[in-house]
Chain A
Amino acid sequence: MIDRRSFFRLAAGAGTASLAAACGWDGGNALRPRLLDISRLNDWVGEKILFSRNRLARQYDVSERSARLPSYFISRMMPMLKDPAAWRLQVQGLVRRPQSLSLDDLRAMPRTTYTVKHHCVEGWTAIATWHGVPVSAVAERCEPLPEARYLLFDSFDSDYSNGWDLASAMHPQTILAYGMNDNPLPPAHGAPLRLYSPTKLGYKLTKYLVSMTFVAERPGGFWEDQGYPWFAGV
């Protein structure tokens, strides 16, 4: 039998040791999977309890725009199209009517413009104006099948991609943006087309889009697969 006092000593010792061992890293092979399990639980809370399709992000006046919005991509050089005229967005997967949409096709569809705050996972925020077509309008056109539960957005920035839950993708402020601050979307921010939504952290907003694919199983994503929260709703 172990008495109470030595039990508490043991517990305190083990706690301190494991904490010390864990310092400086992400939990190691023993704890990291558990932390990721809890991250999935947090995804569930974010998606099923906290997120609301009807709750809109606050809009700002164009005079409140930030002077600069940092840009990033994962390729070594800024991703650019060799032949922009040949670019098409492929809308595919579990849909009745797959689409191959040019930029002009997208511009002819309903247009949403807003000036909103961008939240980066690093902690910075910046305000910018975006315009484009709501993802829900594209979905209406391609008619997803009932078994489609997620969307995978793919890019030509190396293998950067993001998986989205359908409810977030159908949020009225989730758009395929072809314009920023009243101008065509610049290459630094994902030209010709990027995903934008003030309901998500920046790393969920796929730039340099080539396709959106309706799928049944939850797709990962570039940062998500490395341990960043999958849902990433703000």
Chain B
Amino acid sequence: MTASPASVPAKRHHWIVRFTHWATFVLLVGLVTSGLQIYGAYARFGERGGPYYVNPFQDRSFPEWSRLGGWLAGALNWHFALMWPLVAVGLLYLAYLVDSGEWRSLLFRPRDVRGAIEMQKYYLRLRKDHPAQGKHNPLQKLAYTAIVLLGVLAVLTGIAIYKPLQFAWLTALFGGFQAARYWHFWTVWLFVGFTIVHVVLVFTVDPASFRAMISGWYRGRFPSHD
């Protein structure tokens, strides 16, 4: 597609994408903060008596402003209430991607490796011109594919430590209860890291995409819109 003149609005995001995007954000804030409260009840990973998994936060509790629930039971009730809408929103989003065919512009596939390298070169200023791209560049595809997988991982490790007997096979798949708990904890930092990079890139590279995620309409002139 040819570059459209600036300020001609283009429809960018379906309402399902916008709704699930912001709902996921709010739900993750609640799940992460209640999770940090739960963590404080036993701030290490491993069977009683050790050995313990490497954890820079061992035996430490997180600042009060970052915790939701007040105490263990309060945090558990928040966590176990918010997990359902997170799964529902995730399934709605994936169903939309499949139904609309939009997964094609988001799924990172082996053929995107070459483009991802070119894109990385551009960001590192080893290449002057912005590589041609569709709706998303290959690095974006990589990020958006990875974040969906991270969501799946967070839910599966969550199930593995929620019902380690009823889903014993899943718990075993992650290396046992304490290992699953450890990976569940790690998904928090990957979510937090992703969100920071994501927000920084939105506002430094393509601020118009922020409004597009709210209204659905893209009004910028960044080459990424088509």
Contacts and interface: CB of A to CB of B under 8 A. Distances in A.
A26 B38 CA distance: 12
B76 A68 contact: no
B65 A23 contact: yes
Interface stretch (B115-123, B144-152, B159-167, B195-203): B159-167
Contacts of B75: 26
A36, A68, A120, A121: residue with the most chain B Cβ atoms closer than 10 Å: A121
Contact of B71 (A26, A38, A52, A229): A26
Interface in B153-191: 163-166, 168, 177-178, 181
Given A69-B48, A123-B181, A39 B166 contact: no
B73 A66 contact: no
A27 B77 contact: yes
Contacts of B33: 23
Interface in A1-46: 8, 15, 19, 22-27, 32, 34-36, 38-39, 42, 46
B165 A199 contact: yes
Nearest to A46: B163
A121 B41 contact: yes
Given A23-B33, A125-B47, A228-B73, A35 B81 contact: yes
Interface residues of B, number: 37
A98 interface: no
B81 A38 contact: yes
Given A19-B30, A38-B84, A229-B77, 18 more contacts: A23-B65, A23-B68, A26-B73, A26-B78, A27-B77, A32-B77, A39-B80, A55-B168, A66-B48, A122-B41, A122-B42, A123-B39, A126-B48, A126-B49, A127-B47, A229-B80, A233-B166, A234-B164
